[in-house]
Amino acid sequence: MSERNIDVEAHVKAMVGREYGRVYAWDPVNQPMIRQWCEAMGNKSILYHDPAFAAQSIHGEPVAPPTMMQAWTLAGLNGESPPGSSTVNPYEAVEFLANNGFPVNVAVNSEHEYFRYLRLGESLCFTSMLESVSDLKRTALGTGYFVTNLMTFMTTEGEKVGTMRFRLFVYRPHQVSDSAQSKAEQPAAVQPRRPHPGISQDTRFFWDGLKEGRLLIQKCGACGELRHPPGPTCPHCHSFKWEAIQASGRGIIHSFVVMHHPQVAGIESPNPVLLVELEEGTRLVAGLAGIKYSEVEIGMPVQVEFLRTDEELVVPVFRPI
Ligand code: ZN
């Protein structure tokens, strides 16, 4: 570890224990959000769907699923919380590390603890505390620090209802050489390798096909249905028999997102991620070629190309035609 790293570590560890003020919920606990949450999560518990049942339950009234705790206090799509909320970034330790040689982060785990059920009409808020910063660790991803933030959820009257620990690994990828890193903010001399997909017996044909310049789609050997992503059984008839057909490679952009954060080592940022509907009918997630991410439009006709990212990996990208 260089002198510089020792300074960085001392600085970030001095932040441990820092507390961040209240952030309020936009809406009180309410039945419409409970219903939508349960729909999205596939939670069919009658307790959350039938107020009459809830009234006769041990709770004596409708309650919210405890796992919704954080949902009540999330900022809106524009990232804004209600007036009166703290605007200090509770992840300033992560930001500091990002600016001092540890540019990448990944969520590691999240632990919830619930003190009681939430009832309709209750208004929530939370406070945060930087609970811990680990010593410098080497992992398969890279070298960095585990940063744990503790959020405490409470009613606006101050009654604590639960906590959430959120842990991030904030790191620099292995391939960025130490000498490049210590010259602060200079681009790394060695580019990190793009992460590889997990390839199984079920999906190997797809990736092997790409290396041969062929975009393959799995076809059920019994009922003939096409499917993607690949899997061992047909979702329509449950047959294990399958073969692969070669797609034309033509399709349209069905949807897309542009990923700005977090940055992934080895992938250019911002990163446009396309959902392409092939003319055969299946859809796949792929990269973009030929135009800027800001020019992408839903419905654009596209054609596959094969991008070799290193000696072992070829990924599909699509270029507008
Ligand atoms: Zn089938």
Ligand 1 center from residue 217 Cα (angstroms): 14
The mean pLDDT of the chain is: 91
Band of pLDDT at residue 175, cut at 50, 70 and 90: low
Mean per-residue pLDDT, 102-126: 95
pLDDT of residue 233: 94
Ligand 1 center from residue 274 Cα (angstroms): 27
Between 224 and 173, the higher pLDDT residue: 224
Using CB atoms within 10 A of its CB, is residue 41 exposed (0-12), middle (13-18) or buried (19+)? exposed
Ligand 1 center from residue 209 Cα (angstroms): 22
- Put simply, whether the predicted model's pTM sits higher than 0.75 gets the answer no
Ligand 1 center from residue 228 Cα (angstroms): 13
Nearest by Cα to 173 from 141, 138, 139: 141
Question: Could you give the angle at the alpha carbon of 126 between the alpha carbons of 122 and 131, nearest 5°?
Answer: 150
pLDDT of residue 270: 92
Ligand 1 center from residue 210 Cα (angstroms): 24
Q: Which two tokens stand for residue 312?
A: 């072992």
Band of pLDDT at residue 206, cut at 50, 70 and 90: very high
Q: Is 23 helix (H, G, I), strand (E, B) or coil?
A: strand
Ligand 1 center from residue 35 Cα (angstroms): 34
Do residues 274 and 253 touch, judged by C-beta distance below 8 A?
A: yes
Give Cβ neighbours of residue 19 (< 8 Å, ≥ 6 apart).
Answer: 127, 128, 129
Ligand 1 center from residue 252 Cα (angstroms): 25
Ligand 1 center from residue 244 Cα (angstroms): 13
Residue 250's φ and ψ, nearest 5 degrees, are: -100, 150
Question: Does residue 181 carry a pLDDT above 60?
Answer: no
Q: Looking at the DSSP assignment, which residues form a beta bridge with residue 189?
A: none
Mean per-residue pLDDT, 100-119: 94
Ligand 1 center from residue 239 Cα (angstroms): 5
Nearest by Cα to 38 from 25, 51, 49, 53: 49
Distance CA 216, CA 61 (A): 53
Query: DSSP letters along 145-165, please?
Result: EEEEEEEEEEETT--EEEEEE
pLDDT of residue 4: 57
Ligand 1 center from residue 203 Cα (angstroms): 17
- Whats the size of the chain, residue-wise? 321
Nearest by Cα to 278 from 200, 218, 203, 208: 218
Distance CA 274, CA 305 (A): 13
Query: DSSP letters along 234-271, please?
Result: -TTT----EEEEE--SEEEEEEEEEE-SS--TTS-SSE
Strand order through the sheet with 242-246: 226-227, 216-220, 242-246
Ligand 1 center from residue 220 Cα (angstroms): 5
Ligand 1 center from residue 205 Cα (angstroms): 18
Ligand 1 center from residue 321 Cα (angstroms): 33
Nearest by Cα to 188 from 178, 196, 197: 178
Q: Looking at the DSSP assignment, which residues form a beta bridge with residue 67?
A: none
Q: Which range among 37-46, 150-159, 182-191, 305-314 shows the weakest confidence by mean pLDDT?
A: 182-191
Ligand 1 center from residue 103 Cα (angstroms): 46
pLDDT of residue 177: 46
Ligand 1 center from residue 138 Cα (angstroms): 46
Q: pLDDT above 90 covers what percent of the chain?
A: 79
Band of pLDDT at residue 79, cut at 50, 70 and 90: confident
Q: pLDDT above 70 covers what percent of the chain?
A: 93
The pocket of ion ligand 1, defined by CB under 5 A, consists of 220, 222-223, 225, 234, 236-237, 239
Residue 9's φ and ψ, nearest 5 degrees, are: -65, -45
pLDDT of residue 263: 78
How far is CA 17 from each of CA 90, 117, 132, 146, 258, rounded to the nearest angstrom? 11, 28, 8, 15, 35
pLDDT of residue 14: 95
Between 77 and 234, the higher pLDDT residue: 234
pLDDT of residue 193: 83
Question: Does residue 62 carry a pLDDT above 70?
Answer: yes
Ligand 1 center from residue 44 Cα (angstroms): 29
Q: Which amino acid appears at position 295 of this protein?
A: E
Ligand 1 center from residue 233 Cα (angstroms): 8
pLDDT of residue 153: 98
Ligand 1 center from residue 224 Cα (angstroms): 6
Question: Does residue 170 carry a pLDDT above 90?
Answer: yes
Ligand 1 center from residue 216 Cα (angstroms): 17
Report the b/e string of 5-36 with b at 16+ CB within 10 A. beebbeebbeeeeeebebbbbeebbeeeebee
